[in-house]
Amino acid sequence: MSDRPVLLVTGGSRGIGAAVVLKAAGAGWDVLINYVSNRAAAEKLSAEVRLLGVRAEIVQGDTGTEEGIAAIFAAVDQQFGRLDGLVNNAGVVDQTARVEDYSRERLDRMFAINVIGNIRCASEAVRRMSTAHGGRGGSIVNISSMAAVLGSPGQYVDYAASKGAVDTFTIGLAREVASEGIRVNAIRPGVIDTDIHASGGLPDRAAAMAPSIPMQRPGTSEEIADAVLYLISSQASYVTGAILNVSGGR
C-alpha cells in the first residue's frame, strides 16, 4: 500500500471533477474516479493520471442510489484501504423550466443525486475518516453553486434549492465532526464553461452570461479545481465550515 493520501471524486470523469482529479494527482494524491455511464472518459482520465506517477482507479456508481454508493465505497476499501479526502462533485441539472411545470420525477432525481447522494457519500466518508471511528481524519469538499444564493428564477429553481441544501449541510457537518479530525467545506462555482449547460438545454449559456459577470467571462474547471485543492490541503488546516464563492464576482 502507498503512503500517499487517497481522494475520492464523485462525478470525476469530466468537467470540474476531471479537473480536480488531475490537480490532485499533480499534488501527490492517489485518486478514485467515480463515473456513472462514460467509462471511456474515466479510463482515459485514469491513464493520464498514472503518467503523473500516482495511482488511479475508476468505479462505476450512481450516487443517487444506495447500490451505487455501496459500489463506490466498496472500491475505496478494496482498492485503497484508506480514504483521506472526498470531493462531492456529482450533480445534475434539468431542462430550464418554471416551478409550476416541474414533475415529481424531476424533483426526485434532482434531490436524490444533488442532496441525498451528497449526504450519503459524506456519511460513508466520515465512517472511514473520523478519529471517533479509528480513522486518521480527512477533508470533505462539497460542490455547491452560486445558484444557491441567486435562486436561478425561470431556469433552475429546483437546482438552486438543492444547492442551498448542500450549503446548510456543509455547515452542520463541519461543526459535527470538527473535533474528529475532519474538515468540511464547500465551493460555490459561478458560471463555469462546462457541458452541464448543454444538459440543461442551454449549451451557450456560459458565453451568453459573460456580460453579467463582473469579470466579464465565465470561469474554468481548472479555476474551481484550484480552490478545491486549497481546501483539501494542509494550507487550509484551520478552515472548516467555509463556503467559498468562485464566481468572478457574481
Q: Are 11 and 38 in contact (CB under 8 A)?
A: no
The Cα diameter of the chain in Å comes to 53
* Edge-to-edge order in the sheet of strand 85-88: 56-60, 30-35, 6-9, 85-88, 138-143, 182-189, 243-246
Catalytic pick from 35, 102, 156, 159?
159
β-sheet bridge partners, residue 8: 32, 86
Round to whole Å and give the CA distance between 14 and 17: 6
C-alpha cell at 220: 474554468
Strands 30-35 and 56-60: parallel
Closest by CA position to 132, among listed 75, 180, 195: 180
- Annotation says 35 is catalytic: no
C-alpha cell at 185: 467545506
Q: Are 30 and 54 in contact (CB under 8 A)?
A: yes
Q: What amino acid positions are annotated as catalytic residues? A: 159
